[in-house]
Chain A
């Protein structure tokens, strides 16, 4: 079947799933899986073959001809939508069943299929007007999924914030597509790299899609939405939906000319997001908020790659741009895989204990060994450590940046700090995920809920295992993905097509494979050696504590204390301290909360100011006719004065 037929099949299956979702669980799941599988199959021939799939019709929709296009760039994202769309649907079967959530389970299935369908449409639609329509539909699906549990005020608030931020971005997109259509004379989209005067539109692209992508400081909706949504929804929002924003930026920076400074701005935004996103993640106590902030970091990494590519394209197609861009495309997949895995893991913890606060968990590896192990795989991958996939994509981006610095030209000023900040972000990510994994899964349980936890079932474990396996597979055989990645790079900028995978990539893959095997063997061997020598179990020694209790353990807050202190200037944490006083101290407490600086220190105060101002102005409109007549007279008098005293030339 051609990609077109498969896409049609996918759309039909998903539509059927939307229709069946509210009532029939199994058929809806089957149709969703068929649809996502067909979507995946449609993307593969485009990625592994040389030709794009394009469909131009004379069929009018809203006065515009329907035009669909699946090229390398959109196919990369379509693969991600399909994989996570399928995995999340399976996961939701156990995570959000009708027996627990009678009101929202069916609704959730329907909206899920709708979200997957709309994201697929965003990727293939090639007309400005239609793009806006499916983009809006996609945003709305996201809203209804986030607010599935709409009885909780927290969730409603998070959903509202998402909707507001999303529409602020859409406003930018309306301006962008409108201006584009006005200048190009058509709503039809396509490569216009040589068009005059289009370059400034890039700033609208960056803002409009950036609100969805959630780089710093456009990330305001991300933490609360991802934390309060059901975990499978968080997984697709964080792993895939924010990538749609990245898709928009990548797509239109590839098709349209960009301003000369675009590369510098994008790389700067990327480096800032990477560092600040992960710094905020480190200080969080809510497991899902931590993961959400970590997405801000990863969007930053993607932007560093894209910024490098933009710089290289502007400076004579230097080849290091290709490396950075290939790293970016690979990281789109990688981040989608491991972040969904981590959110599934967090969901499974939430499912078992009902808690997201890390300081109320601990020691879960005993009752949830599978979740603990799979979460650990995700944590290693997201920290960018060998031998998993996160390292491979970061390795590409680093190579691009190192090569850029080695050229000793002006743009090395951008590449050099970006490389160093990327390294620091990597170390902070390691700190964050050491904390997240260890506080939640290791040590002693801190509450009864953590003691009574239970392992999740196969429907939840299966998707997690599949995603973890994908992370490992990309880590040890990255060269096999070179063809699709190179295809996407070629679609973005045709001079950068490269057929054969670079030799270092193959070497890296085999080194990672050997390392993984040797490390596993060494671990098992040491464990056996310990067994042979004899091991006895006893209380934690800890320099002689007679009776350690769980509350003595290091907490998530104290673990983040040192590195968090370095970012004090941006965190501006709220602190409440009451010291113990007197010989028989009464109560003492110390509370600390790290609010989102952009949202609560910048946007909320300015919104409050605007509201107060509007309230003042509203005083003029009170419905008393006499005053209105007075306004008229005053206005007339003002005009009269202007005319009388004003001079005309």
Chain B
């Protein structure tokens, strides 16, 4: 079992940095550029891992430990996500709650260590918007739970989807964009401090801690994409290999979708972000109501 878990972890760790690469390639393609190679993040991570670090004079050792803890939390959450026919590394009643709470562990704390106003601003935005996205995530999970009568991810993500699937997909996709600091909520490319959430929080990180943060972020993106795909696609009755293929294709489609959204939409003004998140919440809530009142038992 330990070997299987390690193998699964390796799969997550190795595949995750592919997603930002694909997104960037799609963006470049839409803009008519050649763009960075798909494997760019791997190169970046390898380079950062070798670099030395500049630390602010103000920070405590927790500044370095926090990215590691957050990475472990995301990796732990990933272990709870069933991967199509492979199932999850560990599945128990109520594991969905553990997953959501592990994802909530964030590094906002570390951002306030440096005494920088930009990073403080980023942290404040991160924790505030988390309130709304948490509500949306819970509505989505409740909706899945009502559809399947279960509180275990393994059962919640497997079966035929109900009538509210489109709503759920739209809601979860918006949450995915918000939680992974994507346009229209945040811009992962900008270096205008005033407009950022996540990038502003990590301004003063460098070297291996920054690598850990970037890798953790890519794993979180993969996790959300997987959950979205499995929640929406009905895979019952397919052969295990076919399920794996469908899930893989689904994740790919979601990733391309993120790239397209990013190319075609501008980032929203910050005043609009809460409204957009509220919309995501309402979408999930309506899917919950549909699942409850109209769905299959």
Chain B 12-52 interface residues, beta-carbon cutoff 8 Å to A: 50-52
Within residues 211 to 257 of chain B, which ones have a CB less than 8 A from any CB in chain A? 212
Tell me, yes or no, whether A635 is within 8 Å of chain B by CB: no
B261 interfacial contact with A, CB 8 Å: no
- The 0/1 profile, CB within 8 Å of A marked 1, for residues 78-107 of chain B is 000000000000101111011011101110
A434, B90: Cα distance in complex, Å: 30
Q: How far is the CA of A245 from the CA of B238 in the complex (A)?
A: 56
Residue contact B92 to A439, C-beta cutoff 8 Å: no
A533 touches B53 (CB 8 A): yes
Q: Do residues B117 and A553 form an inter-chain contact, with CB atoms below 8 A?
A: yes
Contacts of A566 in B (CB 8 A): 274
Cα of A419 to Cα of B138 in the assembled complex, Å: 8
Contact call A542/B116, Cβ cutoff below 8 A? yes
Give the CA-CA distance A422 to B81 in the complex, in Å.
Answer: 23
Known: A526-B64, A526-B65. A398 touches B94 (CB 8 A): yes
B128 within 8 A of A: yes
Whether, in the assembled complex, A416 has its beta carbon less than 8 Å from a beta carbon of chain B, the answer is: yes
- Which of B143-151, B159-167, B169-177, B181-189 interfaces with chain A? B143-151
Q: Is A463 at the interface (CB under 8 A from chain B)?
A: no
Contact A542 B204 (CB under 8 A): yes
Assuming the contacts A426-B104, A523-B69, A524-B65, asked whether A561 and B115 have C-beta atoms less than 8 A apart, the reply is no
- Which residue of chain A is the closest to B200 with respect to CB atoms? A543
CA distance A527 to B204 in the complex (A): 16
In the bound assembly, the distance between CA atoms of A458 and B196 in angstroms comes to 44
Are the CB atoms of B51 and A504 closer together than 8 Å?
Answer: no
- A554 in contact with B121 (CB, 8 Å): yes
Q: Check if B67 sits within 8 Å of A539, measured CB to CB.
A: no
In the complex, the answer to whether B125 meets A562 with C-beta atoms within 8 Å is: yes
B193 touches A398 (CB 8 A): no
Contacts of A426 in B (CB 8 A): 101, 104, 134
**Is the C-beta of B259 less than 8 angstroms from some C-beta in chain A?**
no
Inter-chain contacts of A534 with B (CB < 8 A): 52-53
B130 on the interface (CB 8 Å rule)?
Answer: yes
Interface readout for A430-462 with B: 1 if CB under 8 Å, 0 if not?
110011011100111000000000000000000
- Chain A 51-81, CB-CB to B under 8 Å as 1, else 0, gives 0000000000000000000000000000000
Which residue in B64, B93, B203 is a CB contact (below 8 Å) of A530? B64
Assess whether A395 is interfacial by the CB under 8 Å rule.
Answer: yes
A503 to B125, CA, bound (A): 39
Bound together, the chains give a CA A541 to CA B114 distance in angstroms of: 9
Q: Report whether B128 and A431 are in contact in the complex, using a CB–CB cutoff of 8 Å.
A: yes
Residues of A within 8 A of B105 (CB): 385-386
Chain B contacts of A559 at CB under 8 A?
Answer: 120, 123-124
Inter-subunit contact A405/B138 (CB<8 Å):
no
| B280 contacts chain A at the CB level, 8 A cutoff | no
Looking at the assembled complex, report how far the CB atom of B2 sits from the nearest CB atom of chain A, in whole angstroms.
Answer: 11
Contacts of B283 in A (CB 8 A): none
- Is the CB–CB distance between A511 and B90 below 8 Å? yes
B112, A439: Cβ atoms closer than 8 Å: yes
Q: Which of B57, B58, B297 counts the most A-chain CB atoms under 10 A from its CB?
A: B58
B139 within 8 Å of A (CB atoms): yes
Tell me the interface secondary structure of chain A in the complex: helix
Write out the residue numbers on chain A whose beta carbons fall within 8 Å of the beta carbon of B203: 541-543
What is the distance, in angstroms, from A448's C-beta to the closest C-beta of chain B?
17
Task: Assess the B60–A533 pair: CB atoms within 8 A.
Answer: no
Complexed CA–CA distance, A502 and B76 (Å): 22
Are the C-beta atoms of A406 and B72 separated by less than 8 Å? no
Nearest residue (CB) in A for B75 is A518
Question: Given that A395-B94, A399-B97 are contacting pairs, would A406 and B145 also be in contact in the complex, using a CB cutoff of 8 Å?
Answer: yes
Report the interface size for chain B: residues with CB under 8 A from the other chain: 80
Q: Is the C-beta of B279 less than 8 angstroms from some C-beta in chain A?
A: no
Among candidates A386, A402, A439, A530, residue contacting B207 with C-beta atoms closer than 8 Å: A530
Q: Do A530 and B53 touch (CB < 8 A)?
A: yes
Contacts of B119 in A (CB 8 A): 542, 554
In the complex the two chains form, what is the Cα distance from A416 to B145 in whole Å? Answer: 11
- Report B44 CB to chain A, min CB distance, Å: 16
Which residues of A sit under 8 angstroms from B53, Cβ to Cβ?
530, 533-536
Q: Which residues does chain B contribute within 8 Å of A561, judged by CB atoms?
A: 124
B176 to chain A, nearest CB (A): 17
Contact with B along A386-417 (1 / 0, CB 8 A): 10000100010011001101101000100010
Interface string of A512-530 (1 = CB under 8 A from B): 0001001100111111011
What chain B residues lie within 8 Å of A5 (beta carbons)? none
| A507 in contact with B104 given A434-B109, A538-B55 (CB within 8 Å) | no
Contacts of B65 in A (CB 8 A): 523-524, 526-527
In contact, B92 and A542 (Cβ under 8 angstroms): no
B158 sits at the interface (CB 8 A): no
Residues of B within 8 A of A96 (CB): none
Q: Please name all residues of chain A whose beta carbon is closer than 8 Å to the beta carbon of B112 when the two chains form the complex.
A: 434, 438-439, 442-443, 554
Chain B residues, Cβ within 8 Å of A580: none
Proximity bits, B117-142, A CB within 8 Å = 1, else 0: 11111011101111110110111001
Given that A431-B130, A533-B53 are known contacts, is A550 also in contact with B115, CB under 8 Å in the complex? yes
A508 touches B94 (CB 8 A): yes
Shortest CB-to-CB span from B26 to chain A, Å, is 29
Q: Which residues, 542 to 600 on A, are CB-close (under 8 Å) to B?
A: 542-543, 545, 548, 550, 552-554, 558-563, 566
The verdict on B292 contacting chain A, using a C-beta distance below 8 Å, is yes
Evaluate whether A391 and B90 lie within 8 angstroms (CB atoms) in the complex, with A427-B131, A529-B208, A530-B207 already known.
Answer: no
Q: Is A152 an interface residue (CB 8 A)?
A: no
Q: How far is the CA of A552 from the CA of B117 in the complex (A)?
A: 6
Whether the Cβ atoms of A540 and B135 lie closer than 8 Å is no
What separation, in Å, do the CA atoms of A366 and B63 have in the docked complex? 13
Given contacts A406-B145, A434-B109, contact A553 B115 (CB under 8 A): yes
Give the shortest distance, in Å, between A19 (CB) and chain B (any CB).
47
**Quick check: is A420 within 8 A (CB to CB) of the other chain?**
yes
Shortest Cβ distance from residue B3 to the other chain A in the assembled complex, whole angstroms: 16
A527 touches B64 (CB 8 A): yes
Is B269 part of the binding interface, using a Cβ–Cβ cutoff of 8 Å? no
For B208, list chain A residues within 8 Å (CB). 526, 529-530, 533
Expressed in whole angstroms, the Cα–Cα distance for A443 and B112 within the complex equals 6
- Provide the residues of chain B in CB contact with A434, threshold 8 Å: 108-109, 112, 123, 127
Q: Which residues of A contact B108 (CB under 8 A)?
A: 434, 438
Pick from A423, A444, A537: contact of B115, CB under 8 Å: A444
- Assuming the A-B contacts A427-B131, A522-B71, A542-B118, are A420 and B142 also in contact, with contact meaning beta carbons closer than 8 angstroms in the complex? yes
A363 within 8 A of B: yes
Chain A residues positioned under 8 Å from B137 (CB to CB) = 423
Minimum C-beta distance from B9 to chain A (A): 11
- A399-B146 contact given A420-B138, A523-B69, A538-B57, CB 8 Å threshold: no
Closest Cβ of chain A to B68, distance in Å, is 4
Q: How far is B192's CA from A543's CA once the two chains are assembled, in angstroms?
A: 10
Q: Are A402 and B151 in contact (CB under 8 A)?
A: yes
Residues in A neighbouring B58, C-beta threshold 8 A: 363, 442-444, 540
| Contact A552/B115 with A504-B93, A530-B209 known, Cβ cut-off 8 Å | yes
Given the interface pairs A427-B131, A442-B112, the reply to whether A535 lies near B212 with Cβ below 8 Å is no
CA distance A434 to B201 in the complex (A): 13
Q: Does A112 make an interface contact (CB < 8 A)?
A: no
- B94 contact from A385, A399, A424, A428, Cβ within 8 A: A399
Q: Kindly list chain B residues whose C-beta atoms are within 8 Å of the C-beta of A507.
A: 90, 92
Q: Residues of A contacting B64 with CB < 8 Å?
A: 523, 526-527, 530
The 6 A-B pairs with the shortest beta carbon distances in the complex, nearest first, are A554-B120, A523-B65, A438-B112, A534-B52, A431-B127, A443-B115
Write the residues of chain A forming the contact surface with B, with a CB cutoff of 8 angstroms: 362-363, 365-366, 372, 376, 384-386, 391, 395, 398-399, 402-403, 405-406, 408, 412, 416, 419-420, 423-424, 426-428, 430-431, 434-435, 437-439, 442-444, 502-504, 507-508, 511, 515, 518-519, 522-527, 529-530, 533-543, 545, 548, 550, 552-554, 558-563, 566
6 pairs from A and B in contact (CB 8 Å cutoff): A376-B62, A402-B151, A428-B131, A530-B209, A554-B123, A563-B131
* Sample of 5 more A-B contacts, CB < 8 Å, known A403-B151, A523-B65: A420-B142, A442-B115, A526-B208, A533-B207, A554-B123
